[in-house]
């Protein structure tokens, strides 16, 4: 995949314009309209690129929302073949309620290099690139992972912060973290942005763990992989229909623990623009005759880059 400046700028423009499309709906309790507006912009602008793109991670089929669906072909059709992961609005509830942390997201790789994730749950764990691979593992107990992290970083448990979705399914993990005197950063949605908090010490999150969406896990891995961070995931299937669909998507071992380089292979690009302000970046601002956006973009062997963009109101 040619990581040209033109391609990077195009992705920034697309997520920025998708985020701007949500602006009229922030705090209006209209998450479906916000999602549709962002999706329409993202689809239209991806279709203008000189690529042969295919959506392999689309909007959740379980949501009552407009979709960039899995298998959808995008682009003019003359350029490189690429796989695309999309989440036009990560955190639709955040937009609807004007809460922090929503963003518009794209990730791209060469064809065949992005794991096709079924619309099911995934157990996940992530740490920054200062932790050697294998020391923090999804199969370890919470206590062992905290002990290993403490020993590696010379941090007391009381200095360690774990980010986790605030869900009843995490009751046992949360109780164990409290017992170990670990700090907890709760998030109510948006586990792509939650996982990204391990990427830089300035966010003060040491470990991301817990169960969230499988497609979101793949998108998070696309970002963390470019920064040489650690991520593991394992799909969780509730029904036989879920298992059947996973097999149809090419997943042979339903119990497999995926390492980050098995989820995202080779070169990749991750791009996200803030819709409402959060830990990672500011949200869309309207000033006089312009919208102002902030975007994080990263690609293999690159640090997270923050791009501020001004778009004239037309």
Same domain, 93 and 142: no
Same domain, 150 and 186: yes
- Predicted TM-score (pTM) of the model is 0.92
Same domain, 305 and 213: no
Same domain, 294 and 214: no
Please count the structural domains in the chain: 2
pLDDT at 288: 85
Instruction: Detail the DSSP E strand segments found in 113-182.
Output: 121-127, 161-165
pLDDT tens-digit series, residues 102-155: 999 999 999 999 998 888 899 999 999 999 999 999 999 999 999 999 999 999
Same domain, 67 and 26: yes
pLDDT tens-digit series, residues 216-255: 999 999 999 988 999 999 999 988 888 888 888 888 899 9
Same domain, 110 and 125: no
Same domain, 188 and 274: no
Confidence of residue 4 (pLDDT cuts 50, 70, 90): low
Kindly report the CATH number assigned to the domain that includes residue 59: 3.30.540.10
Confidence of residue 58 (pLDDT cuts 50, 70, 90): confident
Same domain, 168 and 282: no
Angle made by CA atoms 191, 164, 93, in degrees to the nearest 5? 45
Query: Is 314 a residue whose pLDDT tops 80?
Result: no
Kindly report the CATH number assigned to the domain that includes residue 186: 3.40.190.90
Question: Can you say whether the dihedral through the CA atoms of 223, 68, 59, 88 is positive or negative?
Answer: positive
Same domain, 196 and 249: yes
Domain ranges, residue 293: 5-114+268-312
Same domain, 132 and 245: yes
Please report the DSSP string for 181-199 in residue order: T-EEEEESS-HHHHHHGGG
Same domain, 156 and 250: yes
């Amino acid at each position: 995949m040619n990581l040209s400046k033109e391609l990077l700028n195009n992705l920034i423009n697309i997520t920025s314009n998708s985020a701007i499309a949500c602006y009229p709906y922030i705090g209006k309790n209209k998450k479906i309209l916000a999602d549709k507006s962002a999706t329409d912009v993202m689809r239209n602008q991806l279709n203008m690129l000189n690529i042969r793109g295919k959506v392999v991670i689309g909007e959740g089929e379980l949501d009552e929302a407009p979709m960039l669906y899995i298998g959808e072909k995008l682009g003019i059709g003359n350029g490189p073949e690429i796989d695309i992961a999309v989440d036009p609005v990560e955190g639709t509830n955040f937009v609807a309620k004007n809460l922090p942390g929503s963003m518009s997201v794209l990730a791209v790789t060469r064809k065949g290099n992005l794991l096709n994730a079924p619309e099911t749950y995934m157990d996940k764990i992530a740490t920054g690139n200062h932790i050697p691979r294998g020391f923090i593992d999804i199969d370890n107990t919470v206590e062992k992972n905290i002990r290993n992290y403490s020993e590696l970083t010379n941090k007391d448990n009381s200095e360690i912060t774990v980010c986790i979705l605030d869900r009843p399914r995490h009751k046992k993990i949360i109780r164990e973290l409290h017992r170990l005197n670990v700090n907890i950063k709760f998030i109510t949605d948006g586990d792509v942005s939650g996982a990204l908090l391990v990427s830089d010490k300035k966010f003060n999150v040491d470990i991301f763990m817990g169960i969230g969406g499988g497609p979101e896990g793949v998108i998070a891995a696309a970002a963390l992989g470019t920064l040489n961070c650690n991520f593991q995931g394992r799909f969780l299937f509730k029904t036989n229909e879920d298992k059947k669909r996973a097999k149809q998507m090419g997943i042979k071992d339903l119990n497999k623990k995926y390492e980050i380089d098995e989820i995202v292979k080779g070169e990749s690009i991750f791009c996200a623009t803030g819709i409402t302000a959060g830990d990672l970046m500011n949200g869309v601002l309207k000033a006089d005759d312009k919208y102002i956006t902030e975007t994080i973009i990263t690609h293999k062997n690159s640090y997270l880059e923050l791009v501020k963009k001004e778009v004239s109101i037309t």
